[in-house]
Amino acid sequence: MSETIIKFGILGCAEIARKVGRSIILAPNATIVAVGSRSAEKAARFAADNGFPAGTRAYGSYDAVLDDPEVDAVYVPLPTSLHAKWAIQAARKKKHLLLEKPVAVDVAEFDGIVEACVASGVQFMDGTMWMHHPRTATMKEFVSDERAFGKLRAMHTCFAFAADPDFLENDIRVKPDLDSHGALGDAGWYCIRSILWGNDYELPKSVTALRGPVLNKAGVILSCGASLYWEDGKVATFHCSFLSHLTMDITAIGTKGTLQVHDFVVPFQESEASFSVASESGFNELVTGWVTKPAEHIVSTSLPQEALMVKEFSSLVGAIKAGGSQPEMKWPIISRKTQLVLDAVKLSIKRGFEPVEVVG
Amino acid sequence: MSETIIKFGILGCAEIARKVGRSIILAPNATIVAVGSRSAEKAARFAADNGFPAGTRAYGSYDAVLDDPEVDAVYVPLPTSLHAKWAIQAARKKKHLLLEKPVAVDVAEFDGIVEACVASGVQFMDGTMWMHHPRTATMKEFVSDERAFGKLRAMHTCFAFAADPDFLENDIRVKPDLDSHGALGDAGWYCIRSILWGNDYELPKSVTALRGPVLNKAGVILSCGASLYWEDGKVATFHCSFLSHLTMDITAIGTKGTLQVHDFVVPFQESEASFSVASESGFNELVTGWVTKPAEHIVSTSLPQEALMVKEFSSLVGAIKAGGSQPEMKWPIISRKTQLVLDAVKLSIKRGFEPVEVVG
């Protein structure tokens, strides 16, 4: 393949940029050419420590990355409160935008980002890696199979991990001025996205936060949940937390089948991932056992999901660069819906767990 | 063992009485001596069809079973609306009481049943079979292990099955005058019990029904859910339904570990049952995989869980009959707590999804 190689600049030296940096190197149609930090020295050390390609330019500012004419696209893993500023600047400078999740402080701010991307004709995609694992497509086939799964009725999703005391005190994800969504933005984002994914991105009619969220002294969410429902009777719940043991589940229940996965955000291992399905299960005659048990499916992948994300993004960017293609709007649209639900959960907590209508 | 053999009478020929009848025969310390129905002929046919012991007396009324002096204990699988009448009569006639779940129309009615049992000194137990599987005890060891599981933070449980059109039209479980709790009583009962089980039977502070329950024309619940929370920050949700594919999950998340089981009410197979646990899981350095994956545990059982239920009940009855033992109050106490939460879910639905304080 003589596909265009998309040249990335990275804004900042966040921990997550190590994983995504590796994935840009692994993706066959992408490479890293620049990294910027508040100090050029730090950027250079980050590039060296993480095996970035020889010749990667290390800049002492984010602006310098955006001004580098060779940079096609930027990966932005900055704290959420800085997303709008830097994402909009990047778009204005015609840089395609791979933006870490949660995408914005609220949907109004996100709309500003999308507007800037549209005005400049650049591709937008958020950093929700699991969307790009081939397992996700295989699971989607199952839940879309009317014969095997029927119609979706209920979902429950969960992403929790036990943050250590240092994280709970000092991480940017517990600071109201940096990542104000806390566990809802960091972990709940995935839960919300998976629920929307299961519902073919149909927004729920209403979102109600569950009683009993845990906030820190600054009001940042450390643990919360919500219930969602759709006009046609579908329901969903999720739970996200920094305060309990690593758990990442999707359960999707249709009229005829059930899907279960226990490592949806980060698969247990990189080269393959599994999920289980059951279809038209029932009991034996005396109800002393099941006549069909759930079956496990294993999906292999030659590239890690984050490299597939970069590959997909770069492929879209390549098509735009080659001329003739417009940015794929699916990606900002599902980011926006995820943010809309996230905003609704926060508003519902603020309103004392009243339901919040979601208007797309 | 020269343990007393407890002689059972069965009130009615419900479908579930076939399974429990078999389990009474399987239990080493129990046998069936009588079955009553509205017609003696039907009772006799039921006994013959289900291999009840030769000599089982077939009566044309429930009263005749209660008046049979050889009957030590009765198993009552009647519709919920008839529980109070027949359970109280049974207790007054000094029959020990194995009562099908849901135990009563409401907790006030259940208190009448317990009062009658206490006054007569008879044992009470409800028919929640999974409590008696050795897997349940093994799972309890895990969630009680401070080192491996830490403190419980969140639970989600689900029991759904796809009832066929005939069930949804004609089954007693969709009739307001028979089993007025619908899916909440039939399936949600197990969800509530499992949440209480995980919480060492500590009642939640409040229960809030989730928006989007499905009721039939008569107002009987076909599908619903609720969220529960405890003063100390623990939370739980559950979903129960007659309208979606067979699913029966417990997820219990502690500060240090996670428990998962996908067949908690009726194990996939009779002779063994599994569950999975993860403890102090974390990611590898680049967050591209888990350093410890959940591990599956398999627990074998020589008797099916319902026979172990009968055995436990009969053992308690035997100790009372032998003299010196009082009825074990653990069983009516946990039945009552389950009913209290069930009542709260119904009240919350009635009140438009307002939270209901649970007062024990």
Q: Tell me, yes or no, whether A146 and A263 share the same domain.
A: yes
Nearest-neighbour CA in chain B from A104: distance (Å): 23
Q: What is the pLDDT of residue A324?
A: 83
Contact B353 A254 (CB under 8 A): no
- pLDDT for residue B1 is more than 80: no
- pLDDT tens-digit map of B248-293: 999 999 999 999 999 999 999 999 999 999 999 999 999 999 999 9
pLDDT band at A360 (very low <50, low <70, confident <90, very high): confident
Q: Is residue B333 part of a domain?
A: no
Report the C-alpha gap between A353 and A213 in whole angstroms: 10
Residues B246 and B146 in one domain: yes
Is A353 within 8 Å of chain B by CB?
Answer: yes
CATH number at residue B43: 3.40.50.720
Which of A150, A233, A268 comes nearest B289 by C-beta? A268
Tell me whether B207 touches chain A (CB under 8 Å): no
CATH of the domain at B183: 3.30.360.10
Within a domain: B101: yes
- Picking from A286, A308, A348, A358 by the largest number of B CB atoms within 10 A of its own CB, the best residue to mutate is A286
Supply φ then ψ for residue A125, to 5 degrees.
-150, 140
- Please tell me whether residues A215 and A315 are part of one structural domain: no
Of B153, B262, B267, the CB nearest to A289: B267
Same domain, A207 and A315: no
B313 in the same domain as B261? no
Given the residues A7, A93, A95, A101, select the one marked as catalytic: A101
Question: How many Cβ contacts (< 8 angstroms) between chains A and B?
Answer: 214
Instruction: Give the ipTM of the model, two decimals please.
Output: 0.96
Whole-angstrom distance, CA of residue A331 vs CA of residue A98: 10
Same structural domain, B287 and B169 = yes
Beta pairing class for B96-99 and B73-76: parallel
- B135 in the same domain as B116: no
Chain CA centroid to CA A123, Å: 16
- Do both B205 and B353 map to the same domain? yes
Does position B78 have pLDDT exceeding 70, yes or no? yes
A1 domain-assigned: no
Question: Does A170 map to a domain?
Answer: yes
The answer to whether residue A101 is catalytic is yes
Q: Answer yes or no: is pLDDT of B146 > 90.
A: yes
Are A100 and A166 in a shared domain?
no
Between the CA of residue B354 and those of A207, B94, B158, B216, B226, what are the distances in Å?
Answer: 15, 42, 22, 21, 11
**pLDDT by residue (tens digit) across A179-198?**
999 999 999 999 999 999 99
Q: Is residue B144 part of a domain?
A: yes
Contact map slice: B 217-276 vs A, CB within 8 A: 223, 225, 227, 229-230, 233-235, 237, 239, 241, 243-247, 249, 251, 253-258, 260, 262-263, 266-270, 276
The domain tally of chain A equals 2
Q: Are residues A259 and A296 in the same domain?
A: yes
Q: What is the pLDDT of residues A245-295, one digit of tens each?
A: 999 999 999 999 999 999 999 999 999 999 999 999 999 999 999 999 999
* HEC per residue, A251-292: EEEECCEEEEECECCCCCCCCEEEEEEEECCCECCCCCCECC
**Which of A208, A212, A262 comes nearest B260 by C-beta?**
A262
How confident is the model over A73-86, as pLDDT tens digits? 999 999 999 999 99
Given B154, B158, B278, which is nearest A251 (Cβ)? Answer: B158
Per-residue confidence band for B324, with pLDDT thresholds at 50, 70 and 90: confident
> In this predicted model, what pLDDT tens digit does every residue of A61-70 receive, in sequence order?
999 999 999 9
Contact between B253 and A158 using a beta-carbon 8 Å cutoff: yes
Whether residue A118 is found in the same domain as residue A142: no
| Residue B229 forms part of a structural domain | yes
The predicted-structure confidence for B8-29, as pLDDT tens digits, reads as follows 999 999 999 999 999 999 999 9
Q: Which domain, by its residues, includes A123?
A: 6-130+306-336
Residue A145 is assigned to a structural domain of this protein: yes
Catalytic residue numbers of B, as ranges: 101
B131: pLDDT strictly greater than 60? yes
Q: Which of A161, A207, A247, A287 to mutate to test the interface with B (most CBs of B within 10 A)?
A: A247
At residue A132, the pLDDT reads: 98
Average pLDDT over residues B337-341: 98
Shared domain check, B209 and B146: yes
Q: Residue range B144-150: average pLDDT?
A: 98
Is B1 domain-assigned? no
Q: For Cα atoms B214, B225, B337, give the angle at the middle one, nearest 5 degrees.
A: 125
Instruction: Find, among A121, A186, A182, the residue nearest to A159 by Cα.
Output: A186
Distance from CA of A112 to the nearest CA of B (A): 31
A210 to B268: CB separation less than 8 angstroms, yes or no = no
Residue A3: band (very low, low, confident or very high) from pLDDT cuts 50, 70, 90: confident
